[in-house]
């Protein structure tokens, strides 16, 4: 299961990471966010060692969401080398997530 991080750990866990990091900006009350959780767990397992998956709750860490231009939940932002490499909004099936990541990192 993806680790929930907060504003205090965002820079270290995401911006200074030595491998790509997929950040799930979510809300506890968001149905598509809840449906996305199992897909992210599968992705995390399939890409173990090559990609980290973390979650940021937009209700508790609003400033992190604002700083990253998040306007809706779920928003998935892929970071590589401390910079945004790709972004997608809404529920995605595992195949769509893998295509998104492969395309963004190509």
Residue among 7, 30, 41, 94 flagged as catalytic: 30
In whole angstroms, what is the distance from residue 72 CA to residue 65 CA?
A: 9
- C-alpha to C-alpha distance for 76 and 99, rounded to whole angstroms: 13
* Catalytic residue flag (residue 12): no
- Whether residue 20 lies in the annotated active site: no
**CA angle, corner 22, sides to 3 and 41, nearest 5?**
55
Which of 14, 21, 22, 33 does the annotation list as catalytic?
A: 33
Q: Which residues are catalytic?
A: 30, 33
């Amino acid at each position: 299961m993806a680790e929930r991080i907060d504003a205090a750990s965002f820079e270290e866990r995401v911006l200074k990471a030595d491998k790509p990091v997929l950040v799930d900006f979510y809300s506890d009350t968001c149905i598509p966010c809840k449906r996305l959780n199992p897909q992210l767990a599968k992705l995390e397992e399939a890409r173990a060692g090559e990609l980290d998956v973390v979650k940021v709750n937009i209700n508790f860490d609003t400033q992190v969401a604002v700083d990253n231009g998040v306007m809706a939940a779920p928003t998935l932002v892929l970071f590589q080398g401390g910079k945004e490499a790709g972004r997608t909004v809404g529920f995605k099936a595992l195949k769509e997530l893998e295509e998104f990541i492969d395309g963004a990192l190509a």
